[in-house]
Amino acid sequence: MKIAVCIKQVPDASTVRFDKEKGTLVREGVESVINPFDYNAIEAGLALKDQVGGEVSVLTMGPPQAQDAIREAISLGVDNGIVVSDRAFAGADTLATTYTLAKAINKLGAFDLVICGKQAVDGDTAQVGPGLAVRLGIPCVTCVDDLEVLEDGRKLRLKRMCEQGYDIVEVELPALITVLASLNIPRVPSLKGKMRAKKADIPMLSAEDIGAETSKVGLAGSPTQVATTTVPTFDAKREMLEGEPEEQVDALIGKLKEAGIL
Does residue 231 touch other proteins according to CB under 8 A? yes
Prior bond of 174 cis (ω within 30°): yes
Which one, 185 or 249, has the nearer CB to other proteins? 249
Which stretch in 21-29, 109-117, 191-199, 201-209 sits in contact with other proteins by CB under 8 A? Answer: 21-29
Does residue 219 touch other proteins according to CB under 8 A? yes
Of the residues 93, 100, 104, 183, which one makes contact with other proteins according to CB under 8 A: 93
Region 184-203 residues binding other proteins, contact defined as CB under 8 A: none
Which stretch in 41-49, 69-77, 104-112, 243-251 sits in contact with other proteins by CB under 8 A? Answer: 243-251
Q: 157: part of which helix (H) or strand (E)?
A: strand 155-161
Strands 32-34 and 9-11, sheet pairing: antiparallel
Residues 150, 157 contacting (CB under 8 angstroms): yes
Write down the least CB distance from residue 77 to other proteins, Å.
Answer: 25
Which one, 49 or 160, has the nearer CB to other proteins? 160
Q: 39: part of which helix (H) or strand (E)?
A: helix 36-52
Residue 176's alpha-carbon distances to 107, 113, 173, 208, 253, in angstroms, are: 17, 6, 8, 25, 53
Does residue 28 touch other proteins according to CB under 8 A? yes
Does residue 206 touch other proteins according to CB under 8 A? no
Which stretch in 71-79, 169-177, 188-196, 199-207 sits in contact with other proteins by CB under 8 A? Answer: 169-177
Which one, 27 or 198, has the nearer CB to other proteins? 27
Question: In angstroms, how far apart are the furthest CA atoms of the chain?
Answer: 70
Query: x/- binding map, residues 30-59, to other proteins, per CB under 8 A?
Result: ------------------------------
Which stretch in 42-50, 155-163, 185-193, 198-206 sits in contact with other proteins by CB under 8 A? Answer: 155-163
Does residue 141 touch other proteins according to CB under 8 A? yes
Q: Which residues contact 86 (CB under 8 A, 6 or more apart)?
A: 206, 207, 208, 217, 218
98 in the Ramachandran plot: left (φ > 0), alpha (ψ -120 to 50) or beta?
alpha
Of the residues 9, 67, 75, 98, which one makes contact with other proteins according to CB under 8 A: 98
Query: x/- binding map, residues 62-81, to other proteins, per CB under 8 A?
Result: -xx-----------------
Residue 52's alpha-carbon distances to 56, 65, 79, 92, 223, in angstroms, are: 12, 33, 15, 36, 41
- Among positive and negative, which fits the CA dihedral 76, 80, 84, 85? positive
